[in-house]
């Protein structure tokens, strides 16, 4: 891929969205403001869970010393199962990012806190998780994804009470969608906030489409994701300080530091 001048990125780019099905709106709006267009290539759709086991594990997670939500979808799914309210005044409610924290506040959790760097690593650096030995940490999430959190918390001595309140149902692009993808002109930009989404997409695409995607410029939400993209074969990789759509795309316009 031939990189465009820094001042023009991402104007004129096709932004390849690996967000879940039906959840590309925020990225579309951010891209439109910068003169870019979005091509949706969802690896899955989100399906809320509603059964006795899910309700039981959610109730236990919400009663923990610290409650962690990993996405706005987790907030929506949990809220549909039971009202969200602090179990006690000393309970900490954390969110992996500002959008998730805002969803918690709309649900009635006024003290929801999120890190400046909206990644698992940023979340783990918050004061409420600085010393979790002997503490119960409720993790409201979905199977897969955020694979750093639970092991790190357990390694720190926490009792992790996990509640998977929604699941990811795989989506495979059909022939017409793949043909449309291959007809897109260069340059492509790939905002990256989920290693799992990227890995599934590369595994699902035919060889020619996967090779074409590897030529895209990647802007990753964290150094860990940037390193993963490089390990998968991407050559043009940048790192942002924020996983939200607008900061991710704006990071693509920043001049590269002189080597």
Architecture of domain 47-168: 3-Layer(aba) Sandwich (3.40)
Q: Which residues on adjacent β-strands are paired with residue 162?
A: 139
Residue spans of the domains in the chain: they are 6-43+172-251, 47-168
Residue that the structure tokens 């340059």 belong to:
187
Share above pLDDT 90 across residues of the chain, in percent, rounded to a whole number: 77
| pLDDT tens track for 80-133 | 999 999 999 999 999 998 889 999 999 999 999 998 877 788 899 999 999 999
Q: Establish whether domains 6-43+172-251 and 47-168 are of one fold.
A: yes
> What is the rounded average pLDDT for all residues in the chain?
90
Say if residues 143 and 170 touch (Cβ distance below 8 Å): no
Residue 6: the pLDDT is 41
| 237-239/166-170 β-pairing | unpaired
74 — pLDDT class (breaks 50, 70, 90):
very high
Residues 30 and 25: their CA atoms lie apart, in Å, by 9
Architecture of domain 6-43+172-251: 3-Layer(aba) Sandwich (3.40)
Nearest of 39, 36, 38 to residue 9 by alpha carbon = 36
């Amino acid at each position: 891929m031939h990189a465009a001048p820094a001042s023009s990125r991402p104007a004129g780019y096709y932004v390849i969205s690996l967000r879940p099905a039906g959840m590309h709106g925020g990225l579309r709006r951010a891209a439109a403001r910068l003169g870019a267009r979005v091509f949706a290539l969802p690896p899955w759709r989100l399906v809320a869970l509603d059964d006795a086991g899910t309700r039981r594990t959610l109730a236990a997670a919400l009663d923990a010393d610290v409650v962690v939500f990993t996405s706005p979808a987790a907030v929506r799914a949990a809220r549909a199962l039971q009202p969200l309210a602090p179990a006690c005044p000393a309970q900490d409610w954390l969110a992996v990012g500002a959008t998730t924290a805002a969803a918690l506040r709309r649900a009635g959790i006024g003290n929801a806190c999120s890190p400046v760097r909206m990644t698992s690593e940023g979340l783990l650096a918050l004061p409420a998780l600085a010393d979790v030995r002997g503490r119960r940490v409720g993790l409201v999430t979905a199977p897969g994804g955020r694979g750093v959190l639970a092991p790190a918390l357990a390694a720190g001595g926490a009792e992790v009470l996990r509640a998977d309140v929604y699941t990811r149902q795989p989506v495979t692009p059909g022939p017409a969608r793949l043909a449309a993808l291959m007809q897109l002109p260069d340059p492509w930009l790939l905002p990256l906030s989920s290693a799992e989404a990227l890995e599934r997409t590369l595994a699902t695409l035919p060889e020619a489409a996967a090779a074409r995607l590897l030529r895209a410029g990647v802007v990753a939400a964290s150094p860990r994701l940037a390193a993963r993209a490089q390990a998968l074969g991407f050559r043009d990789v940048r790192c942002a300080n924020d996983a939200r759509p607008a900061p991710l795309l704006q990071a693509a316009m920043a001049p590269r530091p002189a080597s």
